[in-house]
Amino acid sequence: MNLNLLGLVTALATFLGIWWGHVGVRLIERRAVRLWKPIVGALTLGLGLEALALTTASRPLSAAAGILGVTLLWDAFEFVRQEKRIQKGHAPANPENPRHARILTECPSATTLDLLNRDPVGRRVSAQEARELVSEKELP
């Protein structure tokens, strides 16, 4: 009996690609002083994986490389979108990062608070109420 690992490999590549993409973009964007470096890195690695997917004879390797390559290409785009979320106050800024410090001074809606790091209240809340809920949670 031959096992077909293609489904398992593609499922794992998809899960790990999306998971790392979500977590990695947030972590790298928070620390990167200049965004062009991680963007170029993600584009280069993504295109390299796509080239591997097109040229390898192994179907599982081709599938995994294709999925991870497209995920990295999308992550390059997400670095810019994450910075816009920070400018709008939808994601927390890192005041120790000079790029984020500039955003905090130039964008009145930017904040260092993670407005999603709060207990749910069962209804929509305003930005001000979210700030109050986060502040209450951070009190000793």
Does 138 reside within a domain?
no
90 within domain boundaries: yes
| Contact (CB, 8 A) for 130 and 118 | yes
Containing structural domain, residue 33: 6-109
In a domain, 119, yes or no: no
pLDDT digits (tens, 9 = 90+) for 86-100: 999 889 999 999 999
**73-129 confidence digits (pLDDT tens):** 999 999 999 999 999 988 999 999 999 999 999 999 898 988 777 778 888 888 788
In a domain, 1, yes or no: no
- Got the DSSP string for 77-128? HHHHHHHHHHHHTSS---TTSHHHHHHHHH-TT--SS-TTSS---SS---HH
Long-range contacts from 109-113, C-beta under 8 angstroms, 24+ separation: 110/86
Domain assignment present for 114: no
The answer to whether residue 78 sits within a structural domain is: yes
The total of structural domains in the chain comes to: 1
Note the pTM of the prediction, 2 decimals: 0.83
Quickly state the pLDDT bin for 140 (edges 50, 70, 90): low
Q: Residue 25 class from Cβ within 10 Å (0-12 exposed, 13-18 middle, 19+ buried)?
A: buried
